[in-house]
Amino acid sequence: MLENAMTKYFIEVTQNYQKPVETIFQTLSDHNQLGRVLGIPVKRVINGNDGVNGAGSVRRMGIWPLTVEETVVAVEPNRSIDYRISRGGAPLKNHIGALVFDQTASGSQVIWRIKYDSSLPFVGAVVQHVLKLGLRLGLKRLK
């Protein structure tokens, strides 16, 4: 019997800024500002346990019927944000993301990583390309 093969995908986008890490973190951690950065509708639908955008918060992203909900699972202020897709996103599975923030000599750096699986390789590859392009363009908007 054949197993349902899942193809794994990985995206990593790095962006440097001549702004303090606190400024970049504040913008990217705020669900209400994230839509402006990414160029898609984003709305916080559940407040977090340790702040409105903190762990446990949920944001709805996109336009129906392609909306997804992402749940923030961990936040370390000015260091990292970890999240996962908690609703929607089919045919993608196990979608997790992490933003890592670092202070640099000239300002700050953000590394945005996403991992997910797809049982439909063509769809997974198209999503990989679109997400990577969208993240690159979005992160450049903060410059």
Per-residue model confidence as pLDDT tens digits over 20-38? 999 999 999 999 999 999 9
**CA nearest to 101, candidates 10, 16, 32, 42:** 16
Per DSSP, 51 falls in state B
Average pLDDT over residues 42-59: 94
Give the model's pLDDT for residue 3.
45
Rg (CA), the chain: 15
Tokens standing for residue 71:
């749940």
Tell me, yes or no, whether 119 lies in a domain: yes
- The range of the structural domain enclosing residue 115 comes to 11-141
Residue 3 included in any domain: no
Query: Residue 15 is part of a domain; what is its CATH number?
Result: 3.30.530.20
Mean local confidence (pLDDT), 119-123: 87
Is 28 domain-assigned? Answer: yes
- In the prediction, which pLDDT does 2 show? 39
pLDDT for the residue 90: 84
Is the pLDDT higher at 65 or at 6? 65
Query: What 8-state DSSP symbol labels residue 61?
Result: E
pLDDT above 90 coverage of the chain, percent: 83
Longest dimension (CA), the chain: 56
